[in-house]
Amino acid sequence: MSHLIVLDNEAVQALSDPSHKKHVHVLSQVQMVAGRKSRDLSVTVVVPTAVRVEAGWDRTVPAWAFLNGLRIGDITLDGRNANIAASIRQGARVSVADAHIGAVIQAATATKVTVITSDPEDIRRVAADKEVNVVSI
């Protein structure tokens, strides 16, 4: 079983700031991922690059060293994802970042997809009929 965990803008903000009121909540999720990886379970944490833009996460800036070190992978907005995201944005009337999250969900091949988000309703809308585990922060 493979598990893909997607972060939204607020999850990124919470994780990056130790004083954020949701920091420990998101950090707990990441700690669980590290523990499961150490047991050879297939768990991957990713951030869609449009979310990274919205969050201001520039990987070359030292302030983001903590998140860079956690091996949170980029999912780029390539041509294929852009097509899916454009369709989602038109249909669901969501932000570009949320549309990109929707594209990631819809294109995912993982057995399970979880999105950590402050906006569970939008995530359910962009997921459409694809099954997704929404963790509300």
Partner 1 sequence: MIEVLDLESRMLPTACTTKLWYASAMDVMQAVDRINELLDSDMGQTSNTSMRIPTALRDAAAIAVRELGVAPSTTALTAAALRTRLEAAVMQAVLDDHFRQYPETRPSLGDLAVAAAELDSHPLAGEPARIRQAALEVEARHPDAEPEDVLLWAEARALPAS
Select from 30-38, 49-57, 85-93, 95-103 the region that touches partner 1 (CB under 8 A).
30-38
The yes or no reply on residue 5 touching partner 1 (CB under 8 A) is yes
SS (H, E, C) the chain: CEEEEEECHHHHHHHHCCCCCCHHHHHHHHHHHHHHHHCCCEEEEEEEHHHHHHHCCCCCCHHHHHHHHCCCEEECCCHHHHHHHHHHHHHHCCCHHHHHHHHHHHHCCCCEEEEEECCHHHHHHHHCCCCCEEEEC
42 is a site residue for partner 1 (CB under 8 A):
yes
Q: Is there binding between residue 114 and partner 1 (CB under 8 A)?
A: yes
* Residues at the contact surface with partner 1, assessed by CB under 8 A: 3, 5, 18, 23-25, 27-34, 37-38, 40, 42, 66, 68-71, 114, 133, 135
